[in-house]
Structure 1
Amino acid sequence: MEENLLFWSPDTFPGLYMPFDPLLFFGDNGGGDQFAFVLTPERPDIFVRDHENDSRLWAARGLEDYLHSSLAGDGDWYR
């Protein structure tokens, strides 16, 4: 929760990254990339934010899909 509040603060990373407002982060892959729900526009998809280049890549069509893929995968399964 604290990480979301940090990212949503307008003064934290002004002009450095794409906006974080539409995302609700809930986990990471242990290597720095972060998984997030999309809040705006509301949709069930899960995206991953690449910490090295700030790209946001589609990772799963919803929480159930994410859990199946992440539990069955090894490492960066979403790439």
Structure 2
Amino acid sequence: MWKETATEARPGVTFRPPVDRTALAAAEQRLGRDLPAQLAALLLETDGVVGAYAKDVVWSLDRIVEQNLLFWAPDTFPGLYMPFDPLLFFGDNGGGDQFAFVLTPERPDIFVWDHETDSRLWAARELEDYLQRSLADGGDWWW
């Protein structure tokens, strides 16, 4: 389903080999929380989605884990940004802004974090909406 959604939004999008359930469970254990169901389902189909200009619309599972552990670490950005604990980052626009699910409170919406202003703006209703909008020919700042 996820590959078809992405391909419909942008023919020529590329995919990586899928992750297996063991790797997914290990990643969730490292994170200390479950991935949103939609993201987990996508990763079981493809370990990330690469759009135009090699933009990582959805990161690989390894990158999701590493980036989130970095952002959640208490000494990474002390006093520089609002806390990142409620967010689970999973993709970017190639210009520094990153996309995330909100984990607390849990909801399907996707927000974009602007790395220059530290603002968190609503970007999509859920993962399918995000893929359709982010892969369309609207540029890097489509939200």
Aligned residue identity for 2:142: W
What is the rounded CA distance, in whole Å, between the counterparts of 2:95 and 2:114 in structure 1?
10
Shift of 1:38: 0.5
Work out whether 1:13 is the aligned partner of 2:77. Answer: yes
Query: Alignment RMSD, CA only?
Result: 0.8
The answer to whether structure 1 residue 53 and structure 2 residue 117 are counterparts is yes
Which ranges of structure 1 fall in alignment gaps of 5 or more residues?
A: none
Tell me which moved more, 68-77 or 51-60.
Answer: 68-77
The structure with the greater share of residues assigned to strand is: 1
Higher helix share: 2
Q: Is the partner of 1:43 in helix, strand or coil?
A: coil
Write the distance in 1 (CA, Å) between the matches of 2:80 and 2:86.
Answer: 16
Find runs of 4+ consecutive structure 1 residues off by over 3 angstroms: none
How many residues are aligned here?
78
Residue number in structure 2 paired with 1:64: 128
Percent identical among aligned pairs is 85
Choose between structure 1 and 2 for higher RCO, CA contacts under 8 A separated by at least 6 residues.
2
- Equivalent in the alignment of 2:104: 40
Larger-Rg structure = 2
Question: Structure 2-normalised TM-score?
Answer: 0.53
TM-score, structure 1 as length reference: 0.94
1:54 partner SS: coil
